[in-house]
Amino acid sequence: MMACIQACHFFILSFKYLYPLTSLTPFRHSGLIMNIYFLILTVIGLAALGMAWMPAITEKIKISYSLIYVLAGALLYSVIRVFPMPNPIDQTQATIRITELVVIVSLMGTGLKIDQPFSFREWKIPFRLVIITMILCIALVTFWSWYFLEFDIASAILMGAVLAPTDPVLASDVQVGPPLENKRENVRFSLTAEAGLNDGMAFPFTWLAIKLALLTTITSTNSTSGTLLEWVIIDLVYKILMGAICGYLMGRLLAYLVFYLPEKRKFLVTKDGFVALSATLFVYGITELISGYGFIAVFVTAVTLRNYEIGHKYHVKLHSFTDQIERILLAIVLILFGGSIASGLLNHLTWELALMGIVFIFVIRPVSGLLTLIGSGLHVKEKLAISFFGIRGIGSFFYLAFALHMAKFKPAEQMWSLLGFIVILSILIHGLTATTVMKSLQRRFEAPANQE
């Protein structure tokens, strides 16, 4: 039931992007309303249908399907003028909810497909990337935004928090495959686990930017030092701990329900794949209700569930369902992103902003990653691949929309233009190179997975 409600909510939000019903008179224009409605159904159906063949197409043409869908969205919104152009600044709430849903579904699928059993020792490289690389990226982007772009400190920190996390949604070309593939690739494993971990770990820095922005826009009895102390206690410590604890407990509970009771007690037997989606919504909702980070909770739940009976075939069905839902939602979001590009998302892009985007993709992330991986024991080619393929995407859209909804940031238009440019640049550069590079690395470094 929760899954159906959330899916209907997503469709309504998508429909709002495509056509503002409130601007029409229902009786006088009912025929036009129905025509637009059927056109939307056609577009969504065609986009979702195309996703069935996209993995095979990507394999053959060596180009990420993300690029294809963004270009299709830009063309669609340029040709069919009856659609008002999607604008994330004007439709902040819709942007938050759409991107939020895609990210949490992707996080569940990401956690379920990692064959490598969890331990701090085995996962040391992903943790390095989250703790060191992400912090370096935030610091360097913050400095660049403040010093060269002349952003205020709150906006500069927000830009760092928005750009720092890699994306679990658009990075399928560089991630591990479905569960039980029995393969071990350091690059794919590291990038997959990093994307799952850092989408939640960037949240404290987003909240830091929000709280600093609120200090300058509203009358507050809190001093800067008081705000920072509150941020450390609540946003940095409490919310992360609550997310991790809630995720672990929910993961163990789900494992008990779907593995222990059916296998050991022959009770409450279920093999439905939609359990994964239902669990995603439940875990995210309950964690947010207790003010924890839902992104962290969903990924921890998925990893905890995956590590219980890690060789069980039911994991394949759970992952398969989330993967299908994710690809359907992603098709719509990418078309909307292409439409936003066509509608002027990049209108406030200056050469200074473009330069920062290029430096971020080609210098800041790769250098930060290489510094992090010193002494990791990986081959230099693996280090280069992990450092370079820090793909940006839907998670960054969520963070920026969320922050702009919570507080006022002066360079909002410039920030959206910069983010849009970086994501399209990431899709273009990484999308054209990922398949070829990963195939080459797979032939050289692939090894059997360590199943325990």
* Residue-wise pLDDT tens digits, 384-417: 999 999 899 999 999 999 999 999 999 999 999 9
Q: What is the mean pLDDT of the chain?
A: 87
| Assigned token pair, 140 | 């360097």
% of the chain beyond a pLDDT of 70: 89
> What are the pLDDT digits (tens) for 126-137?
999 999 999 999
Mean pLDDT value of segment 360-371: 96
CA 219 to chain centre: 34
- Cβ within 8 Å of residue 143, ≥6 positions away: 156
The residue ranking higher by pLDDT, 367 or 222, is 367
Q: Which long-range contacts (CB under 8 A, 24 or more apart) does 92-97 make?
A: 92/401, 92/404, 92/405, 93/405, 94/13, 94/16, 94/17, 95/397, 95/398, 95/401, 96/398, 96/401, 96/402, 96/405, 97/9, 97/10, 97/13
CA angle 348, 103, 247 (to 5 degrees): 140
Least confident span in 96-105, 173-182, 212-221: 212-221
pLDDT value at residue 240? 97
Cβ atoms within 10 Å of 237's Cβ, excluding its own: 12
Would you state the torsion angle of the CA atoms of residues 213, 218, 219, 223, taken in this order, to the nearest 10 degrees? -10
CA distance 201 to 35: 44
Phi and psi for 184 in degrees, rounded to 5?
A: -130, 110
- Cβ within 8 Å of residue 310, ≥6 positions away: 115, 117, 451, 452
Q: What is the CATH number assigned to the segment(s) 61-445?
A: 1.20.1530.20
Task: List beta partners, residue 447.
Answer: 184
pLDDT value at residue 20? 41
Entry pTM: 0.89
The residue ranking higher by pLDDT, 65 or 224, is 65
pLDDT value at residue 21? 36
**Residue 10 pLDDT exceeds 60:** no
What confidence tier does 25 reach under pLDDT thresholds 50, 70, 90? very low
Tell me which residue has tokens 């986009």: 47
Mean pLDDT value of segment 16-29: 42
Give the three-state DSSP class for 184: strand
Instruction: Give the DSSP letter of residue 446.
Output: -
pLDDT value at residue 346? 95
Task: List beta partners, residue 184.
Answer: 447
pLDDT value at residue 26? 44
> What are the pLDDT digits (tens) for 152-169?
999 999 999 999 999 888
Instruction: Give the DSSP letter of residue 116.
Output: S
